[in-house]
Structure 1
Amino acid sequence: MSAIYRAFQRTAHEQPVIFYSLVIGFAGPALVFGVPPIRKSMGWKPANRVPTTYPIPDRPRRAVAGFEDP
Structure 2
Amino acid sequence: MSAIYRAIQRTAHEQPVIFYSLVIGFTGPALVFAVPPIRKRMGWQPVERIPQTFPVPNRPRRAVAGFEDA
- The question of a shared fold, defined as TM-score above 0.5 by the shorter chain, is answered with yes
Distance 2:14 2:64 in 1: 75
5+ residue gaps, structure 1: none
Is 1:33 the counterpart of 2:33? The answer is yes
Q: Name the counterpart of 2:17.
A: 17
Q: Name the counterpart of 2:57.
A: 57
DSSP 3-state at the match of 2:22: helix
Distance 2:16 2:64 in 1: 69
Distance 1:69 1:38 in 2: 60
Q: Name the counterpart of 1:45.
A: 45
The one-character-per-residue Cα deviations of 1:5-62 (angstroms, maximum 9, x if unpaired) are 1111111122111111111111122211111111001000011111001111111111
Q: Name the counterpart of 2:66.
A: 66
Distance 1:61 1:10 in 2: 77
Q: TM-score, normalization: structure 2?
A: 0.86
AA of the residue aligned to 1:28: G
5+ residue gaps, structure 2: none
AA of the residue aligned to 2:29: P
Q: Give runs of ≥4 in structure 1 deviating > 4 Å.
A: none
